[in-house]
Amino acid sequence: MAATLEHSSTLAIERLRAFPRSDKPSTFIDTIFADLSNWAATPRWSGGGFTRVVVELADLRGHPARAIARKHKAAVERWLADSLAAAGVPSPRDHARKIMLLTEGAMALTLIHGDRSYMQSAACAAKRLAGCS
């Protein structure tokens, strides 16, 4: 399980590095949530895999898969902060953390309700938080 998660994390981070950046924060944020919405439209989408793993292993705090998921989410948050900094967003680490909360919530609610409009709502909130709505 750990080897599979490590490999999945490596592939996901490589995809993020290829993700288009923008010098316009609103465009970048819209692109992130549009990409998540498109991912959620795929027939076999079942939410964020790393989050699901941690939820399933909630009572096994020392499980190696939880550490891998934590490391992965931290890498995603760093990538997001770097991307926001490149787009000129002030306090990029703070905003990255807030946008991470919005992405996780949007993915969970999209999965629960089968309604991808949560992604658009999260994008609007993220832009407002970043001061670019």
Q: Tell me how many domains the chain contains.
A: 1
Q: What's this model's pTM, rounded to 2 decimal places?
A: 0.92
CATH classification at residue 59: 1.10.357.10
pLDDT digits 0-9 by tens, 60-82? 989 999 999 999 999 999 999 99
Is it the case that residue 2 has pLDDT exceeding 90? Answer: no
The domain in which residue 64 lies consists of 2-129
Backbone angles phi, psi at 8, to 5 degrees: -60, -40
CB-based contacts of 40-45 (< 8 A; 24+ apart in sequence):
40/107, 40/110, 40/111, 40/116, 40/119, 41/116, 45/111
CA distance 40 to 12: 16
pLDDT recorded at residue 132:
83
For residues 1 and 41, what is the distance between their CA atoms, to the nearest angstrom? 26
Reported as a single tens digit per residue, the pLDDT across 7-53 is 999 999 999 999 998 889 999 999 999 999 999 999 999 999 999 99
Inform me whether the pLDDT recorded for 133 exceeds 70. Answer: no
CA distance 92 to 85: 5
